[in-house]
Structures are given as structure tokens and as C-alpha cells.
Amino acid sequence: MAKNDTIISMKKICKSFPLEIGGVQQVLFDITFDVHAGEFVSIMGPSGSGKSTCMNIVGALDTPTSGVYELYGQNISNMTDDQLAQIRNEHIGFVFQNFNLLSKRNVLDNVMLPLMYRGMSPSERVRRAREMLTRVGLEKFESYLPNQLSGGMKQRVAIARALAGDPKLILADEPTGALDSKMGNEILKFFEKLNREMGITIVMITHEFDIARYSRRVIHIYDGRINYDGPIPKTESALTTKTTKVTK
């Protein structure tokens, strides 16, 4: 695939955190991978593997200690907090495990929220939010509060909010973690549809192989290092093999 189709480029990313007793703890070691436009990728690993730290860097929520992270060809490794906030608002749609909806604002307001920081007119914000609610099948629930919705409906509101800014990249952090298996499968199938029909690039964080299988590629992190990067294998045990490179 052409170089200008690369959305995420991580090159020798390392991340360390200072310890209260002195010294540092390194949690990521030479993380290197690219994600191209239209991919559906899972970043997978057990608790403590470093996948959440990797997700924070991918999502411009944190910066690496060393290495280079380019998003849409722009080096964001050393950006300020304000610059990272602008990158997140303009380029990434987030879907979180616990939905992160404002409990005292209705569904329409929750979906419009990211658009307030775009300088978009109130009428355009409403139009865009209603369009996204229709896309996720919740157009009749715009006046509802989050506590009046099921878990699956809350996650669809979160997806509508992620889509409202028209991002080319959605970052989904354990998106089915707060849902039962039926609702979780529905959300994962919806991600498949977004990827297939709209061409949206999806990077999903998960610790479950059965969840990762909905994507088409898995990057497995263990002890802060990538030990598998390739198509979804037939068995989870294959993820512990030597790193496999994806060919495009």
C-alpha cells in the first residue's frame, strides 16, 4: 500500500515511568508497527503487558519516552498537551469500555459534545449528531438520558459520538468489556460494518482472543514487546510465536 495511506507509524517506541523509590520502570520496548487506511487491527495482550500504555500513545493521550510516532505523517511524539488535544479532537474517534457519557446530558448533547470544540455552528452540530444517531439506529432516543438506555445502546451512543467528528480512525478501548456477550457481539459486528462499508480504520484494544478475531490483524504485546504481528491465527497459542510481519 502507498506510503501516504499510512495512518499510524510507530518506530522504536519506548516508554518509562518514574518510580517513587527512585529510578524508572520501562513498560514498552522498541514498539514498531504501521497501520494503514482501511485496516481493522486489534492490539492484544494480558493485563500488565503494556497494551494500555501503547493505546495511550496511539490515541495521543501520552507521549513516548523515546522513538517516533507519526499520525497521518505528522510527528506527534513531542507535542504539547494542547497540541495533542487538538490532534485527538480532529483526527481520532474514541470508544471506551465504560462509555464515558455525561449522565446529566441527553443523548443528542453527548453526541454533539466533541463538535463544540470545532467551531461548528449549533445548527450544524445538531444536524451532524442526528445523522450519526440515525446511522447507529438511535434516532428515536435523542432526548433520553444515559441511565435510561441499555449497555448496548450506551455504547452505540459512544460510537455515534466518535463518528460525529468524521474521523478516519476509531480507537476502541475494550469496547465490549461492560457488555454481555450478546450485546458485545452486536457492537463488534457494527465495527465490522463501519470498517467494511465506510472504510474507517479501527484499532481495538483487547485482552480476549475471541474479541480480537473480529478484526483482520492482531498485534500481540507481551512484557512490553511485540511478539506477534500478523493475520488472526487459528489458535491463541500462535500469538506467542516469533514476530510475524504483515505484508501489504
Per residue in 183-202, pLDDT (tens digit) is 899 999 999 999 999 899 99
For 37-49+80-240, which CATH superfamily applies? P-loop containing nucleotide triphosphate hydrolases (3.40.50.300)
**β-bridge mates for residue 69, sequence order:** 10
Mean of the per-residue pLDDT values of the chain: 91
- Which ranges constitute the DSSP H helices of the chain? 51-58, 81-91, 107-112, 122-135, 151-164, 181-198, 209-212
The dihedral over CA atoms of 161, 102, 149, 141, expressed in degrees to the nearest 10, equals -60
Secondary structure tally for the chain: helices H, strands E: 7, 10
Q: What is the mean pLDDT of residues 112-137?
A: 90
pLDDT at 241: 63
All three cell numbers of 126? 445538531
Report the DSSP pairing between strands 201-206 and 217-222.
unpaired
CB 168 within 8 A of CB 201: yes
Instruction: Dump pLDDT digits (tens) for 47-96.
Output: 889 999 999 999 999 999 999 999 999 999 888 999 999 899 889 999 98
Contact 54, 221 (CB under 8 A): yes
**pLDDT value for 3:** 45
Band (22; pLDDT cuts 50, 70, 90): confident
Cell of 191: 465495527
Is pLDDT above 60 for 244?
no
- Name, in order, each residue with C-beta under 8 angstroms of 246's C-beta and a sequence gap of 6 or more: 217, 229, 230, 231
User: Is pLDDT of 208 > 60?
Assistant: yes
Beta carbons of 212 and 42 less than 8 angstroms apart:
yes
What pLDDT shows up at residue 232?
Answer: 94
pLDDT in tens, 139-183: 999 999 999 999 999 999 999 999 998 888 999 999 998 888 888
Q: Band the pLDDT of 248: cuts 50, 70, 90.
A: very low
pLDDT of residue 247: 44
